[in-house]
Every structure is written in structure tokens, then in C-alpha cells.
Amino acid sequence: MSTTTTSGSTVESKADRKGTPERALPSWLNEQKLWGIGAVVVAIILWAVAAGIQHKKLLLPGPADVIQAFADLFSSGDIWIDLWTSTQELLVGLALAVLIGLPLGLLIGWYRRVGWALDPFINFLYATPRIALTPLLIIWLGIGSTSKFAIVFLMAVFPILINTAQGVHALDQGAVRVAKCFGANDFQLFRTVALPGTVPFIASGMRLAVGQALIGVFVAELAGAEHGVGMMMSTAGQQFQTPKVFAGLFLFAFAGVAVTVLLRRVEQHFAAWRPQSH
């Protein structure tokens, strides 16, 4: 009887434990985000320790120094015109890259002869360090905003163009043939087959383009500008204001993360366009 009772209580306790729900994480938090947040916290701690044990604060300011630099920049109000200038250059350059790179990539991928004709020029420009074209663009377009838009555009357009063309090349040819059998014209094929099928490639190209565009903003402002985050960083570096340089670096990083998150939302919005695999 005692054995039976013990066994029954053991089974009952196991059932109770099994029925007890585990503490769930908040809806906005998951294991992946926890690992990411933990890694960032560890990196900040290591940064603070490294800054504390080295003697030359000029070389590596601590997190507190960078936060103070942020506070000084925003309290003085000088940073706002720099942020507006850099944001304008980034958005205009990216918009031009999308407006030109996306349709051109579709044409190159869809029409073989167009791809053959433009391939030498694309390979030449893609292999050439676009930063090296900065002096020419300034000579041709002047030192104003137009040359900066052009630099950002040149840095960002090729990831979009090349990824879009690769997406068209990777289309399911069976779906294309079926659409043609039902009498679809080129425009209908673009809208119903080509564009939905290339959404993952376009999104990947856009994310790569954001990083290249931010490099273009920095280079364009170094080449000659009155305002901009890149120009602010250059001036701070010449004056050995290392915390201010770090603050500008983080501003560029935050901008890249924000645009990437926005692009992921857009990609999720168009996820329904993707062809379903059976």
C-alpha cells in the first residue's frame, strides 16, 4: 500500500509539474533578442573596462564620455543641421538608386541582349572603386548637394541592380512558360511573375545598398561640405575630440540599423507576393 501511495503521489506530482505553465517571455522579446541584448551589454562592459585601464583617454574614450559627447551635441543644437544634411543625402541617393537600379536590373535580367550590351559597362563601374570617382563628380557637378547625391547613388545602385538581375535569372522558368501559355504579355509577366519572384533578391540588395550609401555619405562630406555628420566627425578628429568622433560613428550606425529595420518591415509587407512552393 505504501509503495502504491508513493508511486501515486510521484505520478501526481509529475503531472502537476507538467501541467504548470512555464513563465513566458513578453511578446516583444524572444530568445534571439535576449542573446543579442546580452552580447551588446557584454561588449559595453568590455569597452568600459578597456577604456578604464588604458592611460590615454584620447585613444579610447569610455561609454560615459561618448554619452556626454552626445549630450553636448544635442544640447548645443549644432547637430540638427548636420543630421538633416546627412539624412537628405542618404535618402535622395538611395531613392535614385532604387528608381534606376530596380527597373534596370529587371531589364538586364529579363532581356538577354540588354544584359549582354550593358554587362561590360556594369562590370567596369562595379570593379572600379567608386570612391575614386569622387574628384571627377565634384569637377563635373560642383561641390554642392548634387555631387553628394551622385556619390551616394553610385555607391548604392550596384547592389540593387545586380541582385535584381540575379533574382530574374533565378526565376522558375516553368511559371514563366505557364504564364506565356495563358497569353500573358511582358508587362503582365513582370507584374505577376518577375517582380514577386525577385522580392527576396531586391530586399537583400537594398540592405547591402544601405551600408554602401552610408559610406557614400561619409565620403561625400569628407570631400567638401559645410555641414553633415561626416564633416562633423572630420572636424572633431582634427581637433582630437575622440568622444565626438565616436558619437558621429554611432549616429551612422543607428541610421543604418533604422533603415534596415524599415526595409525588413517592407519586405514582410510584400511577402505575400512571393510564389508559394508546393
pLDDT value for 88: 93
Tell whether 12 is covered by a domain: no
Domain match, 191 and 95 both: yes
Residue 19 pLDDT > 60: no
Q: Are residues 238 and 121 in the same domain?
A: yes
Using the predicted structure, report yes or no on whether residue 124 has a pLDDT greater than 60: yes
pLDDT of 6 above 90:
no
pLDDT exceeds 70 at position 13:
no
> How large a percentage of the chain has pLDDT more than 70?
86
Amino acid at 195: L
Q: What distance in Å separates the CA atoms of residue 38 and residue 100, rounded to the nearest whole number?
A: 41
- Measured CA to CA, the distance from residue 137 to residue 128 in angstroms comes to 14
CA distance 108 to 166: 9
In this prediction, residues 193-197 reach a mean pLDDT of 77
Predicted local distance difference test score (pLDDT) of residue 276: 53
For 234-271, write each residue's pLDDT tens digit.
Answer: 888 888 889 999 999 999 999 888 888 888 887 776 66
Q: 256: domain CATH number?
A: 1.10.3720.10
The domain of 40 spans: 29-60
Least confident of 23-27, 45-49, 239-243: 23-27
Per-residue pLDDT tens for 146-163? 999 999 999 999 999 999
Do 56 and 71 belong together in one domain? no
pLDDT at 42: 93
pLDDT at 271: 60
In a domain, 166, yes or no: yes
Are residue 53 and residue 168 in the same domain, yes or no?
no
pLDDT, residue 152, reads: 94
Count CA atoms within 13 Å of residue 162 on its CB side: 16
Cα 15 to chain centroid, rounded: 48
203 — pLDDT class (breaks 50, 70, 90): confident
Q: Could you tell me the pLDDT band of residue 272, with boundaries at 50, 70 and 90?
A: low
Q: Are residues 53 and 71 in the same domain?
A: no
* 133 assigned to some structural domain: yes
Question: Across residues 65-75, what is the average pLDDT?
Answer: 89
**234 domain residue, yes or no:** yes
Question: Which of 45, 60, 75 marks a domain boundary?
Answer: 60
- What pLDDT, on the 0 to 100 scale, is given for residue 160? 94
Band (pLDDT 50/70/90 cuts) for residue 126 is confident
Q: Is residue 171 part of a domain?
A: yes
CA distance 199 to 168: 10
Average pLDDT over residues 136-145: 87
- The Cβ of residue 105 has, within 10 Å, a number of other Cβ atoms equal to 28
Q: Which pLDDT value is given to residue 249? A: 92
Give me the torsion for CA of 230, 234, 237, 239, rounded to 10°: -130
Give percent of the chain above pLDDT 90. Answer: 27
- Give residue 153's pLDDT: 96
Mean pLDDT of 113-134: 88
Total number of domains constituting the chain: 2
Stretch among 44-48, 123-127, 191-195, 234-238 having the lowest mean pLDDT: 191-195
